[in-house]
Amino acid sequence: MKTWQSRIKGGSSSLFEDFTSSVHQDQRLAPYDVMVSVAHARALSRASVIKPDEAEQLVSALTEIGEEIRSGSFTWRDELEDVHSHVEARLQEKVGDLGGALHAGRSRNDQIAADLRLYVKDASLSALGAILALQHAFLELGRRYQDALIPSYTHLQQAQPVLIAQPLLAHVSMLGRDWERLRDGLARTDRSPLGSGAVAGSGYPLDRAFLAQQAGFSTVIENATDAVSDRDFLVEFVSCCALCMTHLSRFAEDLILWSTQEFGFVKLPDAFASGSSMMPQKKNPDVAELVRGKAALVIGDLTGILSLIKSLPLAYNRDLQEDKTPLFHAADTLLAALEICTAMVAELEFDPQRTEASISSFSLATDLADYLVSKGMPFRRAHSTVAELVAECLERGRALTDLSAVELETASPLFSAMPRPTSRTSVKRKQTAGSTGPEQIEAQLQAALQLLTDREAETKRLSPAQ
Amino acid sequence: MKTWQSRIKGGSSSLFEDFTSSVHQDQRLAPYDVMVSVAHARALSRASVIKPDEAEQLVSALTEIGEEIRSGSFTWRDELEDVHSHVEARLQEKVGDLGGALHAGRSRNDQIAADLRLYVKDASLSALGAILALQHAFLELGRRYQDALIPSYTHLQQAQPVLIAQPLLAHVSMLGRDWERLRDGLARTDRSPLGSGAVAGSGYPLDRAFLAQQAGFSTVIENATDAVSDRDFLVEFVSCCALCMTHLSRFAEDLILWSTQEFGFVKLPDAFASGSSMMPQKKNPDVAELVRGKAALVIGDLTGILSLIKSLPLAYNRDLQEDKTPLFHAADTLLAALEICTAMVAELEFDPQRTEASISSFSLATDLADYLVSKGMPFRRAHSTVAELVAECLERGRALTDLSAVELETASPLFSAMPRPTSRTSVKRKQTAGSTGPEQIEAQLQAALQLLTDREAETKRLSPAQ
Amino acid sequence: MKTWQSRIKGGSSSLFEDFTSSVHQDQRLAPYDVMVSVAHARALSRASVIKPDEAEQLVSALTEIGEEIRSGSFTWRDELEDVHSHVEARLQEKVGDLGGALHAGRSRNDQIAADLRLYVKDASLSALGAILALQHAFLELGRRYQDALIPSYTHLQQAQPVLIAQPLLAHVSMLGRDWERLRDGLARTDRSPLGSGAVAGSGYPLDRAFLAQQAGFSTVIENATDAVSDRDFLVEFVSCCALCMTHLSRFAEDLILWSTQEFGFVKLPDAFASGSSMMPQKKNPDVAELVRGKAALVIGDLTGILSLIKSLPLAYNRDLQEDKTPLFHAADTLLAALEICTAMVAELEFDPQRTEASISSFSLATDLADYLVSKGMPFRRAHSTVAELVAECLERGRALTDLSAVELETASPLFSAMPRPTSRTSVKRKQTAGSTGPEQIEAQLQAALQLLTDREAETKRLSPAQ
Amino acid sequence: MKTWQSRIKGGSSSLFEDFTSSVHQDQRLAPYDVMVSVAHARALSRASVIKPDEAEQLVSALTEIGEEIRSGSFTWRDELEDVHSHVEARLQEKVGDLGGALHAGRSRNDQIAADLRLYVKDASLSALGAILALQHAFLELGRRYQDALIPSYTHLQQAQPVLIAQPLLAHVSMLGRDWERLRDGLARTDRSPLGSGAVAGSGYPLDRAFLAQQAGFSTVIENATDAVSDRDFLVEFVSCCALCMTHLSRFAEDLILWSTQEFGFVKLPDAFASGSSMMPQKKNPDVAELVRGKAALVIGDLTGILSLIKSLPLAYNRDLQEDKTPLFHAADTLLAALEICTAMVAELEFDPQRTEASISSFSLATDLADYLVSKGMPFRRAHSTVAELVAECLERGRALTDLSAVELETASPLFSAMPRPTSRTSVKRKQTAGSTGPEQIEAQLQAALQLLTDREAETKRLSPAQ
């Protein structure tokens, strides 16, 4: 029995029920729907639409229903179309006709908007915490290999030697911005649509600030039509998921490269790799590959939700029911990916001998050019002088470090007193803030740790008291 | 116990299992996996890798497993990572060590590619049939209102009067191209990757043509590396789904418009509408709205799958496991949408009085201009003469048909002998092929019906004998 | 002559030049490239890499180049691959070898990141201003029709009567969140990558805080590798564009509906409509249609840029060159759409008689149900009582307001003393915050105006002093 | 002066003109617009709407205009909104009032649909040819290194040794399906919308088959409403572009990997690489990176066009003007990418010593397991026996080929008579069709070449006679 059955005479076909039912999806929202209903019961009483003891009866029955949902004893039935109908039907079983009084002054339109916002709030808070955990893991990994060298890359060609912490800190920084974006979005999610009715406001004198506070929102969305029709809090959250997953996919790509036979930079923890059913020797970086693949689907989630909302007339349209598919997929995927990356990073082992040995002598070419500049040659000419040396070496299959003092001086007399550069001296020369110089790495590690500590405190403040 | 457990010592964490398991998704592929395994058992025997009676034992155990899957008695276990492991484990329970012989010369890479192709074949055939059914429903609806008039629109502004069948036949045509695309894609899907091993071909003398035929494929994909790594059959299928859903979303949009209070052109069957929990008068076109919304998500599926494949190195990468999420979603959505649209179109009722009465007199403006042209005025001047008349009428709140003979002749003496145009004469004047003229509509309806009949026969030919 | 030509012996084919050149796109960045180069010249001098008077020479030549670019006298040449090469080549024409000194300690990687960030800063500030202007136009339109009634819609079915300002204020609210998001993103964009070198930091003692301040950034991005490789400021900006365009597409959709013959709610300003080449009577809502269409392409921009970045290894990769296509398209589209919507809203005319007359009597059904609740009937029973009445009226082709007192009392004796509801009493009954009640509308209009004033001041503070 | 100016009194603002003008985009369609107009002139004469000599005058003036466009002497003016207005305005300059007669019986709606289809036909034919050229280049490269060994990969981990031609032939196969898809789509594009008028058909007795043939179409799209409103030929073409670019991105990824210092498998032709402005040693695989990046944007094009069309009511809507942006971008990108890849593949050099030497001994593990199977051990047990050996070797840092006969026999006595496997014997063992065995490679190369020859002939047949 639908809540609107009297108006629609024909009954509905089971084809219709299957096609339109959202219970499979929105039963995840049941705990929030109960919270919202408790708030509404209290607001109705405050507005004298129902009596205080009626409100108490409703609240206590709803609390029981909340318990049933949490414990799994709640019965989901195919003939009820959505989560709201389930809660209301169960309520009527418990309190009879009084259950039918609860819906005065509200609509499923403001209800579902509130349920979704409460869900996105929780998902955002979980993601904020999970990001901090992964950042911690990266920082600890950086500390563990603080003196170890590795090539850096641009265009996937070796660029200059760096300390291993340098790329790891890059990932910490990216995640830091993901954290900021989620926090900023959270402030826009944490606004209450309750009391907006179907589209035009409620005909009952409901106190919207009270409703918001009772349901756990920080503030109220002003316009009632906007409140029931807009889903940009959800788009913003899925955008954050898509961008954060994109960041993780870049780390996954590096990890896949680093664990090839050809690079050989890391040893994947056995617990995060799998074998082949056919080839006995295989050890595959499955987790990293799946993170990469899942990032693609979250991009698809974002495309889907934007395309869904595009061109919808005001206000609520049933199309919006479909917003839950990309939302839940994006949230679940991000949280799982953050969690498994954290566990994997914690157990990652670099092979510092191999990473250092892999650095090509040509990675020092910039150091040679910089030396010429320090002796007075304009940079562009220094660059081309060294480039000629590199080309010669390559032609004759020699390393840049194989060149004799005489050969160097022939290229430019300014080379005469140059101390021979090594990967380590190259790294030490970097002294700009945020660079790979050892002191700069130390400073970066410390600053990052401090920021994490501050943000842990901020995340706690943003979380509802339990 | 994984099939590759010996190589990977550490065991895998449950975090890993949860993150990488695909059973939840790929158990839908189990019947195909059994078919493919039966084919492989026979091919191994033919290649003398196993004995004929061993093959028979395997085939008969696999057949039982197929039955268990179909009947729902098969047990899915969390500790087995994918559908292949499940079938193999059950096989070993039934035939012991011999079960372990089946995997010789193959890999999960060629197996999953074959499973997916068989699934896409079936889904394509279902979609071909479902499209024909919806086209039938449109044709019947067009016949039912063969003489009824309705405004046509460009820019959602009334353009010219048409017969109701005209826009309905447009939808039949769009769906007809969807049918062609799916059929063309089916030919590319129906190629067997079996016998390709992990990436390089098999070390056993397997007869790939025999394997293909046994598993129900029409032909063989030549290159083994391509066979295990490419998913373009899947992208092509999801593309077809996205475009067909986009077509359905356009029909849904028209339906939503037509059932507004303002248009009032159709009465939605009660079984395909719902009411409001708050507003007792509401009858909402939910199905059409959901079709529109679901189209957006299928666009997201396509984005996701393309982004997933982009930049993957050869050959199989675990990212590909994620291809099943958009594939199944797109296929399920398209089939459900086609089915419910068919049922809804079958029961759709137009209000032919209202549709005819809604046609604005200004929709006849082109007929006036055409009349002037027939009397020798160049079209561009005729157009501007009539446009002036329209502007005048609008300014004075009059209909174009209210103009007196004198007023018309003042605008142009060529109007003097003009028979007054009506919606019906306007429609009758259209004689180009495919136009809305009554004979043309009759011709369109007949040609469309003939095409459907031919295509039903073709679909039957493409379907495997049961 | 490329800046790296010495190393690459073969020269490059013109095919290569055409395929890789970015000048066509990045010449828009030239003014920013000059700013960044000026900052670098000063930082080199401060770090004693060049002499103060050399720096002055460079700065003054760069200033001239900036003038040439602004005035259009700068020559763009096909053989120079990007904007950086153009500026450097021109510099060498002006100051000879000294021009070659400028590139010491920097790379095109940190340069382009800085150029792009400065561009996105400017584009964000323009969008912030343009959003406020459109919000103003909506508020003024709401004021102009403050007492006029219009149907509100859910599922595009008439829901309840509202004041015209109600949906307009919904659009103001949506745009308000777009403004917030752009502002939050701006804070993340306004960070300097300068001094990061190619990937590992610079070998020269450059003061990054000084560089940032000279180039007009508020702060510094810490990690050098992150600084050159990350583009999330750009993704975030394009996300904001996509969501804001999606919001505009919803307004466009309503406008297109409102200007149909069937709705007839608004008269589009002639300056924002076009006619038909064939049908003399047409007046098409082209601007609204194009806004809707352009929104789709900006969603595509976002998909493209995310898919571009997904799976890129650290750090800079040439793929990133392609980020400019979606960035510029999204920014240009958003700014143009905001501007033309502002002009169009300013001239929009409603037909308040028609909007009020269009409100169906059934829109008052909720008011009847609410009345029953106020007399003590539980809501769910009241809803179904009224729904029966509605169904009866529809069957007999009567308006809900046609029912006699007797008929109402037959349905429920509680109706006996009910004052007959009208659209206007229905609106007046709404008293919750943000609802369509007249006082609530007045409060919404005032609060919105106050917020705009505050945000205009904030936008000014965020803009660089000219 | 617009062709519809008389109806719209207010004139249009320049803001409007800038926002709605499509000339910048659609001037590429001018040659097709002339072809279509020539066909229409002849059809009007055939239908006796104009006189034969008038038709001749129009055709000859249009032919001149076509020449002016081709030679670049045609003047594009900002005040004319689209390509159709330009051609008509120029025509009136040449033939006066008679020019205004040409538009009788047609609309810009059927005109633009025809122009676009003719463009997509040409672009498809170009792509068909360009794909064949790239396939040729791959085949020649495979021939050049026909005996050379290289590791194959799954999960980017070394799998089994293959001949270099094996992965190259995989790319040939992928491109082969792109070719098929484009050809199939071409058949659907090559249908004429001419004679459909604005939406309902034409009021003049135009012979649509004659129109189609005159404009160079193979057949006619039946329904007039469908003919002017549908763009699925365009979506299908952009889908083909997106999938083909995705294929190219996979090749690009391999190329980028193969040219790293760590893999070192190929030497990029100097003409297809670039250097660094800062690091003198760099040689970057820019073309491959750009191909990868551009693939992402074409995915965005597809998303954009689908999202554009979704939910559009029938029939033509101005949103469709925006279809040209993704269409032209996708077509240009695909053609340029195919062309440069062809040139690059033609000059690619492998380092066959390095590729062979890179093959890990563990790549032979499957061969060992297969040997045990051939001696009667069930595969699953053989797999695990060899996996234990691999694990032991790795632990003790030994190659699989280092194991002594005794050690092997300890693992399994079945190993006793085994000839030691090498990369080359491993490759030779593969005898399934499409595998990497030398005869199979030869067969694949020959079959591929034959297919190319056939398809070159087919492409020629599909191309219009010049």
**Chain segment A332-374, per-residue pLDDT in tens:** 999 999 999 999 999 999 999 999 999 999 999 999 999 999 9
The better pLDDT of the pair B228, A464 is held by B228
Select which of C14, C71, C73, C155 is catalytic. C155
> A297 to chain B: nearest residue by CA?
B304
Indicate if the pLDDT at residue D377 is higher than 80. yes
Indicate if the pLDDT at residue B11 is higher than 80. no
Indicate if the pLDDT at residue A447 is higher than 80. yes
Tell me the C-alpha distance between C263 and A81, whole Å. Answer: 32
Nearest CA distance, D202 vs chain C (angstrom): 10
Q: CB under 8 Å to C383, separation ≥6 — which residues?
A: A3, A4, A6, A103, B277, B278, B280, C369
Indicate if the pLDDT at residue D2 is higher than 90. no
Indicate if the pLDDT at residue A124 is higher than 90. yes
Asked if A153's CB is within 8 angstroms of C315's CB, the reply is: yes
Tell me the C-alpha distance between D463 and D466, whole Å. Answer: 8
Bridge partners of residue D267, in order along the sequence: D349
Residue D193 tokens read as: 């919308």
**Chain segment B356-399, per-residue pLDDT in tens:** 999 999 999 999 999 999 999 999 999 999 999 999 998 899 99
pLDDT confidence bin for C4, thresholds 50/70/90: low
Tell me the C-alpha distance between C444 and A102, whole Å. Answer: 28
Choose from B169, B432, B441, B451 for mutation: most chain D CBs within 10 A.
B432
Give pLDDT, residue A270: 84
Indicate if the pLDDT at residue D1 is higher than 60. no
User: DSSP secondary-structure letter at A461?
Assistant: H
Indicate if the pLDDT at residue A10 is higher than 70. no
Among D107, D269, D307, select the one facing C296 at the smallest CB separation: D307
Tell me the C-alpha distance between A299 and C311, whole Å. Answer: 12
Q: CB under 8 Å to B116, separation ≥6 — which residues?
A: B29, B32, B231, B233, B234, B323, B324, B327
* Cβ-Cβ contacts under 8 Å, D286 against chain C: 20, 318
* Cβ-Cβ contacts under 8 Å, C231 against chain D: none
Mean pLDDT for C240-269 is: 96
Q: How far is CA C373 from CA A178, C378, C380, C415, C427, in A?
A: 48, 6, 9, 11, 18
> A319 to chain B: nearest residue by CA?
B293
> C400 to chain B: nearest residue by CA?
B281
Give pLDDT, residue A78: 80
Indicate if the pLDDT at residue A266 is higher than 80. yes
Asked if A6's CB is within 8 angstroms of B280's CB, the reply is: yes
pLDDT confidence bin for C81, thresholds 50/70/90: confident
Asked if B307's CB is within 8 angstroms of A299's CB, the reply is: yes
* Cβ-Cβ contacts under 8 Å, C309 against chain A: 246, 250
Interface partners of B (3+ CB pairs, < 8 Å)? A, C, D
Asked if C201's CB is within 8 angstroms of A440's CB, the reply is: yes
Choose from B26, B277, B310, B347 for mutation: most chain A CBs within 10 A.
B277
Assign C344 to helix, strand or coil: helix
Give pLDDT, residue B268: 87
Give pLDDT, residue D4: 65
Pick from B71-75, B306-310, C14-18 the range whose average pLDDT is largest.
Answer: B306-310
Q: How far is CA B174 from CA B126, D118, D144, in A?
A: 18, 19, 48
Tell me the C-alpha distance between B434 and B452, whole Å. Answer: 17
pLDDT confidence bin for D374, thresholds 50/70/90: very high
Tell me the C-alpha distance between B37 and B62, whole Å. Answer: 8
Indicate if the pLDDT at residue B425 is higher than 70. yes
* Cβ-Cβ contacts under 8 Å, B284 against chain C: 154-155, 157
Give pLDDT, residue B159: 96
Give pLDDT, residue B270: 84
Give pLDDT, residue C11: 58
Indicate if the pLDDT at residue B259 is higher than 70. yes
Indicate if the pLDDT at residue A1 is higher than 60. no
Percent residues over pLDDT 90 in chain A: 87
Select which of B14, B71, B155, B404 is catalytic. B155
**Chain segment A404-428, per-residue pLDDT in tens:** 999 999 999 999 999 999 999 999 9
Asked if D157's CB is within 8 angstroms of A282's CB, the reply is: yes
- Is residue C136 flagged as an active site residue? no
Give pLDDT, residue D5: 66
Give pLDDT, residue D466: 54
Give pLDDT, residue C306: 98
**Chain segment C405-428, per-residue pLDDT in tens:** 999 999 999 999 999 999 999 999
Among B6, B287, B294, select the one facing A16 at the smallest CB separation: B287
Average pLDDT, chain B: 94
H/E stretch holding B266 reads strand B266-267
Give pLDDT, residue C278: 77
* Cβ-Cβ contacts under 8 Å, D109 against chain C: 278
Residue B114 tokens read as: 């074959």
Give pLDDT, residue C48: 95
Give pLDDT, residue C6: 66
Give pLDDT, residue C326: 98
Average pLDDT, chain C: 94
pLDDT confidence bin for A121, thresholds 50/70/90: very high
**Chain segment A128-183, per-residue pLDDT in tens:** 999 999 999 999 999 999 999 999 999 999 999 999 999 999 999 999 999 999 99
> A160 to chain C: nearest residue by CA?
C200
Bridge partners of residue C161, in order along the sequence: C151
Nearest CA distance, A295 vs chain C (angstrom): 7
Nearest CA distance, C55 vs chain B (angstrom): 44
Nearest CA distance, C48 vs chain A (angstrom): 10
pTM over 0.95: yes
Yes or no: say if C238 and C298 are a contact pair by the CB < 8 Å rule: yes
Indicate if the pLDDT at residue D236 is higher than 90. yes
Nearest CA distance, A334 vs chain C (angstrom): 14
Percent residues over pLDDT 90 in chain C: 86
**Chain segment A304-330, per-residue pLDDT in tens:** 999 999 999 999 999 999 999 999 999
**Chain segment B411-422, per-residue pLDDT in tens:** 999 999 999 999
Among C102, C203, C433, select the one facing A367 at the smallest CB separation: C203
Asked if D282's CB is within 8 angstroms of A155's CB, the reply is: yes
pLDDT confidence bin for C458, thresholds 50/70/90: very high
pLDDT confidence bin for D26, thresholds 50/70/90: confident
Q: CB under 8 Å to A401, separation ≥6 — which residues?
A: A361, A364, A420
Closest CA to C105 of D273, A447, A160: A160
Tell me the C-alpha distance between A84 and A65, whole Å. Answer: 12
Q: Where does residue A264 fall: left (phi above 0), alpha (psi -120 to 50 degrees), or beta otherwise?
A: left
Nearest CA distance, D217 vs chain A (angstrom): 34
Asked if A286's CB is within 8 angstroms of D157's CB, the reply is: no
Mean pLDDT for D241-248 is: 98
pLDDT confidence bin for C5, thresholds 50/70/90: low
**Chain segment C143-173, per-residue pLDDT in tens:** 999 999 999 999 999 999 999 999 999 999 9
Give pLDDT, residue B3: 67
The better pLDDT of the pair C180, A273 is held by C180
**Chain segment D378-401, per-residue pLDDT in tens:** 999 999 999 999 999 988 999 999
Percent residues over pLDDT 90 in chain D: 87
Asked if B261's CB is within 8 angstroms of C151's CB, the reply is: yes
Choose from C164, C299, C310 for mutation: most chain A CBs within 10 A.
C310
Indicate if the pLDDT at residue C41 is higher than 80. yes
Give pLDDT, residue B17: 86
Whether this model's ipTM surpasses 0.90 comes out as yes
Choose from D435, D450, D451 for mutation: most chain B CBs within 10 A.
D435
Nearest CA distance, B420 vs chain A (angstrom): 39
> B153 to chain C: nearest residue by CA?
C260
Indicate if the pLDDT at residue B122 is higher than 90. yes
Q: Which residue has the tokens 């200004």?
A: B362
Asked if D287's CB is within 8 angstroms of C19's CB, the reply is: yes
Nearest CA distance, B450 vs chain C (angstrom): 33
**Side-chain half-sphere CA neighbours of A391 within 13 A:** 18
Per mean pLDDT, which range of A268-277, B317-326, D229-238 is the poorest?
A268-277
Mean pLDDT for A280-303 is: 95
> D174 to chain B: nearest residue by CA?
B226
Indicate if the pLDDT at residue D339 is higher than 80. yes
- Chains C, D: CB contacts within 8 A come to 232
Residue B86 tokens read as: 């499940």
Asked if D84's CB is within 8 angstroms of C13's CB, the reply is: no
Q: CB under 8 Å to B364, separation ≥6 — which residues?
A: B160, B161, B400, B401, B421, B422, B423, B426
Q: Write b or e for each residue in A264-275: b if 16 or more Cβ atoms lie within 10 A of its Cβ, otherwise e.
A: ebbebbbbbbbb
> A297 to chain C: nearest residue by CA?
C307
Per mean pLDDT, which range of A103-107, A167-171, A280-284, D49-53 is the poorest?
A280-284
Select which of D276, D374, D384, D416 is catalytic. D276
Tell whether omega for the bond before A391 is within 30 degrees of 0, i.e. cis: no
Q: Which residues of A are catalytic?
A: 155, 276
Yes or no: say if A330 and A235 are a contact pair by the CB < 8 Å rule: no
Among C3, C8, C198, select the one facing D270 at the smallest CB separation: C8
Choose from A256, A266, A281 for mutation: most chain D CBs within 10 A.
A281
Tell me the C-alpha distance between C388 and C394, whole Å. Answer: 10
Give pLDDT, residue D40: 97
Indicate if the pLDDT at residue A276 is higher than 90. no
